[in-house]
Amino acid sequence: MDDLAFNAVQAARRISAGSDNTDPLSSVRTLILNSLPAADEPLGQAAHHHFMDPGKMLRAGLALSTGKAFGISTGASVNWAAAIEVLHNASLIHDDISDGDSVRRDRPSIWAAFGRDTALALGDWLIALSFEFAAKAAIAGNNPALVANLSHHMKDTTTGQAMEFETTGYPDWSCYRQIIRGKTAPLFIAPVEGMALLAGRQDIVEPITQYFNAVGTAYQVANDILNILGTDGAINPASDLVRRAPNGVIVTYRNLLVGKEAKEFDTWLLSGDQSAVAKWHHRLLQSSAIKVTTELMNGILRDAENKATCVPDELSHIVRPIQKLLTSICALSLEHAAE
């Protein structure tokens, strides 16, 4: 559920605005800001600190664009877009606590600025707000199933996050893909699926689900490569190795090891010891792990491209910019890997 590591601001606007000259995202942005607690109320300062930069709002753009394509009312589309966007931001606040990330959108993260208790409470408060928006969208669209749909995707996202903490050892490729699919895909699927439910277009749910599962996996693998190379913007190079967070390059490296070295690396991963991070990072960089992982990433990217062709034509204007962004971040990881 990490924020996209590449600049998607203009793409998000193109997705939502289509051929119009206005920016429909402004309605979502205004709705969210007007719904936050006042600065002098509990959580008010923290909430306004977080939303001072609303982020790329790519998910809101997907909801608005899909709603427009299907002729969904503005009230339903805007509230559904706000529901997804607020739930995404709640997940970011909670993720920063779990990951120990002290910076979010070039500003101190909520837990770093206001403490963990406030960050937990604000995340919970935003989850409640997201369901309030979903209920309003359901009323405007005359379809109460929207609320259950949001709950379904929230559970999938939370399950993906929880898998990081509940595994007894470092994940293999199968487990890794389940984790990143659960963390990344649900809140990209939800914006489109919600509008499809209101339009009675359940036929698009399966191709959209398969497409965004592939997109989420390819993006995360690309970002994992940048993390290990120390070019993903994280404060510490190879922060995933430091935190023992699921990372496709680390998974690949483990698969390349045999015998004594494999046992030594597994023991170190499970120990939590920080003293040998530099040693293992150097060994990983000297191995073929990044080369093998980039080949895997390219295969997943081709899979996403194939699945994009199965998305109905009326949503092709959504898929095109997503594919362009995905191709860009994969190309960036390849460029840095070749340096």
CATH of domain 9-338: 1.10.600.10
User: Which tokens is 46 given?
Assistant: 């923290």
pLDDT tens digit sequence for 194-234? 999 999 999 999 999 999 999 989 989 999 999 999 876 66
**Higher per-residue confidence, 235 vs 38:** 38
59 Cβ contact list (under 8 Å, min separation 6): 81, 84, 85, 88, 187, 188, 190, 191
- What pLDDT sits at residue 18? 45
- 3-state class (DSSP) for residue 272: coil
> Distance between CA 81 and CA 24 in Å, rounded?
10
Give the pLDDT score at 180.
87
Q: Which of 51-60, 232-241, 298-307 has the lowest mean pLDDT?
A: 232-241
Cα–Cα separations (whole angstroms), residue 209 to 181, 270, 295: 11, 34, 24
For residue 137, is pLDDT > 50? yes
Q: Given a cut of 80, is residue 7 above it in pLDDT? A: no
| Among 110, 90, 78, residue whose Cα is nearest residue 1 | 90
Contact between residue 76 and residue 140 where contact means Cβ atoms under 8 Å apart: yes
Across 43-57, 85-99, 165-179, 312-326, least confident range = 165-179
pLDDT(176) > 50: yes
Q: In the chain, what are the domain boundaries?
A: 9-338
Is 50 exceeded by the pLDDT of residue 14? no
What does the mean pLDDT of the chain come to?
88
H or E element: which one contains 103?
Answer: strand 103-104
Q: How far apart are CA 258 and CA 296, in angstroms?
A: 20
